[in-house]
Amino acid sequence: MSKSPITISKYFFIRKRFLAVVFKGRHVHCPICEKSYVTFLPFGTKNKRANALCIRCLSLERHRLIWLYLKRETDLFQNSSKKHLLHVAPEASFFKKMKKHKSINYYPVDKFEEGYRYPSRTKNMDITNINKQDNYFDVIICNHVFEHIVDDQKAMTELLRVLKVGGWAILQVPIDYDLKVTFEDETITTPEARKEAFGQADHVRQYGLDYRDRLKNAGFKVSPISYTESFSKSERFKFGLPKYRNIYLCQKTGN
C-alpha cells in the first residue's frame, strides 16, 4: 500500500542523491522512473532481498513487473481513448506517472488512517462501500490491499460492480505459493499474533493458491499470467523482477 508513516525517516530521502551517485551505473534499469544504477538496493522485513528497491522512485520488484505489463501488454497508456482508472492504495511511483497521463481519468483512493500521509488528490474511500455507480471504471488497479480487509469478498464484489462490462483489473495480493488454501483465523486479532500468523501486523490472512477461486467467486473472469517468465534471466536482473509472481488479470464479462 502506498500510504507512508508521517514519522518515516527523512534521513533516507536526504541520502537519495548520495546513493544515486554511489550506485551510478547501467547494470539495472527501473522502467518506472527510467533511471539506471549498478544495482537496486536490498529490501525486506525479515530477509533482505538483493536487487529490490529503486533508489529514486522506491519501486519494488512487483511494482516494476506490473508497470512493464501495463506498458507493454495493455492499452492503458494509449491515447486513442481516455480511460477511467480506479487506483486503490496508489503506489507513489505509479501515482506520479498516472495522474498526469493524457489517456487517463485518474481516481486514486485509499482508506485514510491516522498517522499516515497520502498522495495529494487521493480520496478517502472504503472499497467495501465504493461511492460510484455501477459500470463506471474501465480499469482498476488494486495491489496488496485485500490482505488488510476482513471482508475481502465484499471488497472484490464492489470492485466488480463499479468495473465496466468489458473492463479489466489487476488485483494483486501477497501469496504463499506453498499454501494450497488461504489461511485466516478471525480469533487472531493482536498485531503481534497477526504478524506471526500472516507475516505482517496489519494483515488478516495469508493467501494461498486458491486466491484465483476467491476472485472467481466474486464474479471475475480470472487469468493468472506468469509474466516474469516472458523475460530472460538477464532481463529479470536488469529490471529487478520477482523470481515468481503471477499477475492476476481480472475481467468483467457480463452483468
Per-residue pLDDT reduced to its tens digit, 202-237: 999 999 999 999 999 999 999 999 999 999 999 999
Distances (CA, A) of 231 to 52, 60, 73, 164: 17, 17, 13, 31
Query: Can you list the alpha helix ranges (DSSP code H) found in 163-225?
Result: 191-198, 211-218
- CATH class held by domain 60-251: alpha beta
Q: What is the pTM of this model?
A: 0.89
pLDDT of residue 24: 78
Percent of the chain at pLDDT exceeding 70: 91
Residues 6+ away with beta carbon under 8 Å from 218: 153, 156, 157, 159, 160
Upper half-sphere CA count for residue 187 (Cβ side, 13 Å): 0
CB contact at 8 A, 61 and 49: yes
